[in-house]
Amino acid sequence: MCSIAGILFKNGSRSSLPMTTGEALTEMMDACVHRGPDSAGWALYRDPHPGRLRLRFLVPQGTDHGEVVDRIKERLELEGAELMHEERLGCTYGVVVGFEGDLQRFSYAMEKAGMLLSAGSSLDIIKDVGRPLELCNTYRIAGFNGTHGIGHTRLATESGVHPETAHPFWATGFADVATVHNGQITNYWIMRRRLERHGMEFRTENDTELIAVYLAYRMSKGASLKEALRTSLEDLDGTFSYLVATADSIGYAKDKLAAKPMVKYEDDALIAIASEEVALNRLFPGKSLDTTEPPPHTFGLWSRSLSE
Amino acid sequence: MVTIDLSKTPVRVANEMIRGYGSTRQDVEVINPDARHYIGVGLTTPITVRIRGSAGYYCGGLCDGPRFEVEKNVSWGVGDNLLCGTIDVRGNAGAIAGVGLRGGEIVIRGNMGSRAGQVMKKGTLCCGGNANFMAGYMMYGGRIIILGNSGERVGEDMMGGEIYVAGMVDSLGNDAMLIEPSSSDTDSVLQFLDRYDIPFRGTLKKIVCRGKSLRYGTAEPRLRKLPYTSFSSPGQTDYWNPKVREDIRVKAHIGRYRIRGYGASRHLPHFSDIVFRQDMSKVTPEEDMVSKVNLRTLIGDKHGGRALDLSMPVMIAPMSFGALSPQMKLALGIASRLSGISENSGEGGMLSAERAEARQMIAQCLAGRLGWNVHDMKRADGVEIYISQGAKPGLGGQLMAEKLTKEIAAVRGIPAGMDLRSPSRHPDILGGDDLIMKVEEFREATGWRVPISIKLGAGRIRDDIKIALKDGLDFVELDGMQGGTGAAGNEVLEYVGIPTLAGLQEALDGLAEIQAEGQLPIVIMGGIKDGLDAAKAIALGATAVAFGTSMLIAAGCITCMQCSVGSCVIGAATQDKEHTARFDVKKRAMQVHRFLEAVRWQLAFIAHAHGYTDIRQLSRKDLVALTPEAAAFTRLPYEPGYRRSSSRAL
């Protein structure tokens, strides 16, 4: 009940788009906002600093911002992470810390202090209730000009409208893995219990989080992202078109019923995927694009350095 | 040729302009289309519209007559329900190209997405490249030409029409078969390709319906001596009672579920299990009471359309021309006008004579798009998207072969003489996001002038109502388990669904959960039998009610529950001229009208007895529940004491 969007610039190229990566994503999301006006979110891949970790927390409305921040800082110290940079942005609190160790253990520990939206060397998830254009200003999305990112607008159908139920979802405990999704995973509880038996933890009952954790778990067991995408077509049941992003790539998968639309455009410089062609045209106004609709029951993967 | 620049003009305005140019027969060029949706929707004049680029969803949808030329791609649903005209797409098409096509020609020179030509009835859909899975899914007629590969399961559940494939047939769908095309078939296809300058030198394979799934096997024996209500009637206490035995014997004969009309006949908690606190036994009705209580209800102007203007918070529930005879539909149209309320087309097309009689008519759009067309939309006072109904939530309509006469088949645009099982799911509404787009398409087709409502069978209503609110619907028609139907499996009728009382409360709770109380009017139906039930529903929070079954009974229905058979003795639920000849339209219309006036009187009396001057002053505070079940459904106080004084409790 949503729209998805993703963009990746190949080979570090900045192409001739007259807009930043953040603006491009936001434009694409705005073009499809009719599919989901409740909330919006971005997974942005910022420049990584070696040995440092980005964390973003959600500070829910009605809680004392200062109190939450103090708790987070205390916990960071306790976990031996050195605070390098902090920012307060809308309903979030972001930090860059010096940390080297087991991210999964660290992030589970940090969640005792605050609601963790994302963690990784470059991943930064920003999401809130509202429409992309409004949120873009609040969260200074236009200033982002990295190599890739994914975005989402949501029409809430089952769970409520809160920042924490907006997409993208981070694969809790796994650095830099984020997903956005349009559709519904119908074997959610079967898959969730299967993953929980392997020690995975879930923060919501949202099926998109399941996709993220599923992919990250598969990769942690040695599968490549490509392999994980392939098996997801068999393991996940329901109607879905989803995007996954990692530190250097973007992938998609589409179920066999193809009930959820997805269109892609690719040229030498970039690959862009969205729910509808109208979103891709926002990047190239007035042009007729050679787009393709990924066939049912397929997946694809592009990375910054090599494309498929 | 005039030019419209979509980078400067919103589509809504552009469509008004295109229709305007259409009326003066001027061709239109659309520049900077940038894959925007709904371009040219609802155009009914024979002009040419050139789209210089890609178009989005429903390009050329709900049109009659025009020619569209698209330079690049189109998204989902190109040429939706096209009646006549041409759409020529140079690039690729998304899913469900030519959905519900009713005539005219659609040519996709590139590839096309899945389920092309779903539920199409007439005309030609041609694809120069490859098709994706299930082309011709549930098609009733017309022709699909695929010059590339067919895709998986081509012709799945097709019921008529023909599919020609030049490339590889990846796999055949259920009930589809390959045959050799005749030379006239091939000539006709070649002529078509020639007209569009599509070079072709291959051979064609032809796919048609095998016809194994069109009729039920053994016919169900008709038994009148044990009506379905016997099952739950007092006195039938023994477990293997005659009804149960009959049911087993019939199933042993036919080997499947049994089909009947009406809704759940077993006892379910209902409006009779809640009562007004107010003692009305001492209240003397005043002579001009009806004029002193405001009953007038405007509904459906939430998004700027013209509201339905009801003289009381009552509608006639959707019942189809097909399930009902034209005479019965006409009587309902007349009664609705006399009582100043609205009538509803139900599935399967609008009867012109009824349209003329009814002052306010809602056109209902169902998944099979049977009889659906832009002209009926334009002459309707409201458009309603049917998702499901209370009697059989999640299932499509059924019309047995006996009732699917040549006339009815022609109106619906389908082959006659099959046991019609309408699809249960819209080709283009697979989720809340698609629903938004369908609503927008309908708004464009009707120039944003009429209310657009949604009919929901109570199921997961707490969530569904939130989607309806967010998707920009004007009101909801909510149908509970006691709601009737022309034909459905007996077990489904008795055991599937949510009782009306519970459905209404869930819907109200769903809106309250997102702080949207009162933001989406609910018209409740499903076993509403009189003004008393109606008043209770309104006190609980419904904006209006709709009557279906009680309309038929008022018109003389003998409640044999055999609506599906097609030999309704009073001529209400049949197409058999021998029976319909007995139906006196004027007399029956007056019976329905008089019943509706009795409802009006009851509504006014109840409001008056509470000292109210407006029916909307009734509230939950005025009600109590007589049974623990009804109290649990509604959270009204359980006060069985009111039962003891039931002589005064209404």
Domains recognised in chain B with CATH numbers: 260-644 (3.20.20.70)
Q: Give the closest-approach CA distance of A284 to chain B in angstroms.
A: 8
Please tell me the distance from the alpha carbon of residue B161 to that of residue B208, in angstroms, as a whole number.
7
Task: Return the pLDDT at A65.
Answer: 87
Mind giving me the DSSP string for B287-306? TTHHHHSB--EEES-TTSSP
8 Å CB contact of A281 and B7: no
Give contacts of A 20-59 with B, CB under 8 A.
34-38
Tens-place pLDDT, residues A57-114: 999 888 888 999 999 999 999 999 999 999 999 999 999 999 988 998 999 899 999 9
Tens-place pLDDT, residues B527-580: 999 999 999 999 999 999 999 999 999 999 998 888 998 899 999 999 999 999
Q: Which of A2, A239, A263 sits opposite B430 (nearest CB)?
A: A239
Distance, CA of A2 to chain centre: 14
8 Å CB contact of B431 and A156: no
Helix (H) or strand (E) holding B122: strand B122-127
Q: Is A182 on the interface with B (CB under 8 A)?
A: yes
Please tell me the distance from the alpha carbon of residue B219 to that of residue B566, in angstroms, as a whole number.
13
Closest chain A residue to the Cα of B76, Cα to Cα: A261
Q: What is the mean pLDDT of residues B292-303?
A: 96
8 Å CB contact of B54 and A239: no
Closest chain A residue to the Cα of B467, Cα to Cα: A157
Can you point out the beta strands (E) in B518-574? 522-525, 544-547
Tens-place pLDDT, residues B301-322: 999 999 999 999 999 999 999 9
Q: Report whether pLDDT(B649) > 60.
A: no
Task: Return the pLDDT at B236.
Answer: 59
Q: Report whether pLDDT(B625) > 60.
A: yes
Tens-place pLDDT, residues B398-455: 888 888 889 889 989 998 888 888 899 999 999 888 999 999 999 999 999 999 999 9
SS3 label, residue A180: strand
Beta bridge pairs of residue A292: A264
Domain ranges in chain A are 2-47+122-303
Q: Which of A35, A278, A293 sits opposite B433 (nearest CB)?
A: A35
Tens-place pLDDT, residues A28-54: 999 999 999 999 999 999 988 888 999
Average pLDDT, chain B: 93
- The amino acid occupying position A122 is S
Beta bridge pairs of residue B146: B127, B165
DSSP B232: G
Q: Any catalytic annotation for residue A2? A: yes
Q: Report whether pLDDT(B479) > 80.
A: yes
Q: Report whether pLDDT(B342) > 80.
A: yes
Report the greatest alpha carbon distance in chain B: 88
Measured between beta carbons, which residues in chain A are less than 8 angstroms from residue B432?
1, 155, 157
Q: Which of A258, A288, A295 sits opposite B54 (nearest CB)?
A: A288
- Contact criterion met (CB below 8 Å) for B344 and B487: no
Nearest to B65 by CA among B18, B14, B4, B112: B18
Q: Is B75 on the interface with A (CB under 8 A)?
A: yes
Q: Give the closest-approach CA distance of B635 to chain A in angstroms.
A: 23
Task: Return the pLDDT at A205.
Answer: 87
Q: Report whether pLDDT(B215) > 90.
A: no
SS3 label, residue A21: helix
Measured between beta carbons, which residues in chain A are less than 8 angstroms from residue B113?
258, 293
Q: Report whether pLDDT(B237) > 80.
A: no
Q: Report whether pLDDT(B647) > 70.
A: no
Pick from A166-175, B272-281, B394-403, B611-620 the range whose average pLDDT is largest: B611-620
Question: What is the value of ipTM here, to two decimals?
Answer: 0.91
Task: Name the phi and psi angles at A271, rounded to 5.
Answer: -130, 130
Beta bridge pairs of residue A180: A243
- Counting DSSP H helices and E strands in chain A, the numbers are 8, 15
Please tell me the distance from the alpha carbon of residue B514 to that of residue B506, in angstroms, as a whole number.
13
Does the domain at A2-47+122-303 match CATH 3.30.70.890? Answer given as: no
Query: Higher-confidence residue: A61 or B189?
Result: B189
Task: Return the pLDDT at B223.
Answer: 67
Q: Which of B7, B37, B463 sits opposite A157 (nearest CB)?
A: B463
Give contacts of B 501-560 with A, CB under 8 A.
513-514
Structure confidence at residue A307 as a pLDDT band (50, 70, 90): very low
Task: Return the pLDDT at B104.
Answer: 96
